Amino acid sequence: MKTIHVNLSADSYNIYIGKDILAKVGEIVAKDKEPCKMLLITDENIEKIYGDVVAESFRQNNFDVKLLSLPPGEEQKNIENALLLYDNCFAHKLDRKSLIVALGGGVVGDLSGFIAATFMRGIPYIQIPTSLLAQVDSSIGGKVAVNHPKGKNMIGCFYQPKAVFIDTNTLSSLPSKEMVAGIAEVIKYGVIRDAELFAFMEKSMDAILQLQDEALLKIIATSCQIKANVVEQDEKEKDLRAILNYGHTIGHAIETVTHYKQYRHGEAVAIGMLYATKIAIELGIADTSVFDRQLSIMKNLGLSIQTGLKSEDIIKALYTDKKTVSGRLRFVLPTKIGEVIISDKVNDEMLYRVLDKPLLAF
């Protein structure tokens, strides 16, 4: 089992990465935590496959487990489900020493973390991510939130988990479209921080999609390490952490405009990364190879790269982006593979110019 430490003073924690971890999680957690009341939150797809093994692993270590599963999907990451989960915290008599465990993709992770952060002003929680996206990104770093009809992740806070357990075996049941959506966030890490990771993806995509152990460990551990490094330097996104938002400004706008129903998060981010790169090329800070290399991986993965959405709807939604300061948009833009800058030089006129052209017509 590989361990990556996230160093955040009193809020530090470990990310454990390996195979066959699910059945052992209860035992590992019990080494540091007295048995207690526990709410295990998951979704219906994941409950069917992994609910019992995780619940049993905690029960065998004397945790008093209540399992609650929500329907799957991004639309479930809402304040109504947060209220439902608080009701369950009360019904199961959770107190400040109790434990919340998030077993699932990013939707379960973000929502469960939000409950843990806010119930009784904060109780401990653990992330057990089962999608690639959650393993490389959402389970780490403590951004927890629910969506609002006006914008993605608009109601939330920063609240770190006590530990993250990544069992790469869970990817064997992950539908391929979900795998591809997760790969989009790995492409993001390559573009913002790691040209070598990007090149690895260019040459090893077949091994990744075939879930070969070495390739999976490489992309998951490298992504976790990059995220840990960035979060350690800027936990609350004062500055540097905004680079993790590459592709998300337009990506989140696409998700909001389509009411969180039409695109997986990773799919919207992929389109957002291509548009951000087009903007960088328009500004003269990146050359076309930066676009072509990303496009080539995305085409290879079968990612759809057109939206058919109206530019004005996307631009309107952009202004609720959390990086906007005093009404000025701030974009994360690549200068080359492995390096990005944060720019406030992008105006509406340029956005219309870029968004009005189909991505492939450039």
Ligand X SMILES: NC(=O)c1ccc[n+]([C@@H]2O[C@H](COP(=O)([O-])OP(=O)(O)OC[C@H]3O[C@@H](n4cnc5c(N)ncnc54)[C@H](O)[C@@H]3O)[C@@H](O)[C@H]2O)c1
Ligand Y SMILES: O=C(O)C(=O)C[C@@H](O)[C@H](O)[C@H](O)COP(=O)(O)O
Give yes or no for residue 160 binding ligand Y (CB under 6 A).
no
Does residue 278 have an active-site annotation? no
Q: Could you tell which of ligand X, ligand Y, none binds residue 235, using a CB distance below 5 to 8 A set by kind?
A: none
Residue 330 is among the residues annotated as catalytic for this protein: no
Estimate the crossing angle of helix 79-91 against helix 106-118, to 10 degrees: 60
- Closest to ligand X by CB, 224 vs 286, is 224
DSSP secondary structure, 97-158, as one string: T-EEEEEESHHHHHHHHHHHHHGGG---EEEEE-SHHIIIIITSS-EEEEEETTEEEEEEEE
Beta bridge partners of 18: 167
CB of 118 to ligand Y, least distance (A): 17
43 binds ligand Y (CB under 6 A): no
Closest CA relative to residue 269, chosen from 236, 237, 311, 305: 305
For residue 306 the two structure tokens come to 């057109």
Query: Is 131 within any annotated ligand binding site?
Result: yes
Catalytic, out of 77, 227, 293, 322: 227
In the annotation, is 227 catalytic? Answer: yes
| Catalytic residue check, 241 | yes
Catalytic residue among 252, 278, 293, 322: 252
Is residue 31 part of the annotated active site? The answer reads: no
Burial class (CB in 10 A: 0-12, 13-18, 19+), 50: buried
Asked if 153 touches ligand Y (CB under 6 A), the answer is: yes
148 is in an annotated binding site: no
Single out the residue of 174, 178, 107, 127 nearest to residue 16, CA to CA.
127
d(Cα 178, Cα 359) in Å, to the nearest integer? 23
25 labeled binding residue: no
Annotated catalytic residue 92: no
Residues with catalytic roles? 121, 143, 185, 227, 237, 241, 245, 248, 252, 265
Question: Which residues here bind ligand Y, judged by CB under 6 A?
Answer: 137, 141, 143, 152-153, 185, 237, 241, 244-245, 248, 322
State the binding site for NAD(+): 106-110, 130-131, 143, 152
